[in-house]
Amino acid sequence: MINQIFFFYFSAVIVAMSVMAITRRQVLHGVLYMLLMFFHIAGLYLFLNAEFISAVQIIVYAGAIMVLFLFVIMLLNLREDIRKKQFIAVWPMGLLVSSGILMVVLMSMLTVRTGTKGVWGIAQIERVTETVAVGTVLYMQYLFPFEVASLVLLVAIIGAIVLAKRKVK
């Protein structure tokens, strides 16, 4: 019962924050709502026994990505843009399409059948602790994608620097 109450609290806040984030005229406000939403998602992850990802969510998403957004917003002088209308003229069309997809997704949920269970049951994770479990899987099974991910990040760093730096005359 208490689990369900917490789930409803978190999901209600997540949905509400998402809606707020995408409807704000001020970009800065949107980003702040996003921050709130990320904290609640991290909380939800804790319910799902994903402490490590929960921490990553807060550190990387809330701590790094959103801060990056804030920096960019502060670097840009957005006075003109925020005075314009937030939505395009045909926004009901977008609503229609999004809700259509939502309907399809929700309907498909009804027929989801889960596959066979893996080896990382709660007992097993508790025995070795969560971080060790994720680390084992990450560095044993997914070493190569992990290296690729590091390469993607390296490219992103270089790309961002190259794109954003001013031309030196």
Partner 1 sequence: MIPLNWYMWLSGVVFCIGMFGFVTRRNIIIMLLSIEIMFNGVNISLIALSHYLEDLAGQVLVFFIIAVAAAEAAIGLALVMLLFRNKETITVDDLNELKG
Partner 2 sequence: MDFKCYILIPLLPLLAFILNIVFGKALIKRHAHLVATAAVAISLFLSVRALIEASSGTVINQDLFTWITSGQFKVSAGFLVDQLTAIMLIVVTSVSFLVHIYSIGYMHGDEGYPRFFSFLSLFTFSMLMLVMSNNFLQLYFGWEAVGLCSYFLIGFWYEKKSAADAAKKAFIVNRFGDFGFGLGVILIFLNFGSLHYADVFTNLGVIASQTVVIFGSRVSLPTLIALLLFCGAVGKSAQLPLHVWLPDAMEGPTPVSALIHAATMVTAGVFLVARANPIFTLSPVAMNVVAITGGLTAIFAATIALVQNDIKRVVAYSTVSQLGYMFVACGVGAFSAGIFHLYTHAFFKACLFLCAGSVMHAMGGELDVQKMGGLKKFMPVTYWTMLIASLSIAGIPGLSGFFSKDEILWKALSSGSPVGKFVWIIGVVTALLTAFYSFRVLFLAFHGTFRGTEEQKHHLHESPSSMTIPLIVLSVGAIVAGYAGVPHILGGHDWIAGFLGKVTGLVPAENVGGAIHVHAEGEMSEWSGMAVSVVVAIVGVSAAAFFYLKRPELPKKIATAFAPIYKLLFNKYYVDELYGFIIIKPCYWVSENILDKVTDKMFIEGIVNGLPALVEWSGQKLRKMQTGVVLHYTLIMAVGVFLLAILVLLGIGTGMGPAK
45 contact choice in partner 1, partner 2, none (CB below 5 to 8 Å, kind-dependent):
partner 1
Number of neighbouring beta carbons within 10 Å of residue 57: 20
By CB under 8 A, is residue 72 in contact with partner 1? yes
Asked if 39 and 21 touch (Cβ cutoff 8 Å), the reply is: no
Note the residues at the interface with partner 2 (CB under 8 A): 88, 90, 93-94, 97-98, 100-101, 104-105, 107-108, 111
Cβ–Cβ contacts within 10 Å for residue 130, how many?
Answer: 17
Query: How many chain residues touch partner 1 (CB under 8 A)?
Result: 92
Q: Which does 62 bind (CB under 5 to 8 A by kind): partner 2, partner 1, none?
A: none
Task: List Cβ<8 Å contacts ≥24 apart for 122-127.
Answer: 122/49, 125/49
Residue 129 binding partner per list partner 1, partner 2, none, with a CB distance cut-off of 5 to 8 Å that depends on partner kind: none
111 binds, among partner 2, partner 1, none (CB under 5 to 8 A by kind): partner 2
Token digits for 76? 């840009």
Q: Taking the chain, what is the end-to-end CA distance rounded to the nearest angstrom?
A: 66
102-121 binders of partner 1 (CB under 8 A) = 102, 105-106, 109-110, 112, 114-121
Task: Kindly give, in sequence order, each residue whose CB lies less than 8 Å from that of residue 45, ignoring residues fewer than 6 positions away.
Answer: 51, 53, 54, 57
Q: Does the protein bind partner 1 through residue 78 (CB under 8 A)? A: yes
Which residues in 3-42 contact partner 1 (CB under 8 A)?
3-4, 7, 11, 14-15, 18-19, 21-24, 27, 30-31, 34, 37-38, 41
For residue 141, the one-letter residue type is: Q
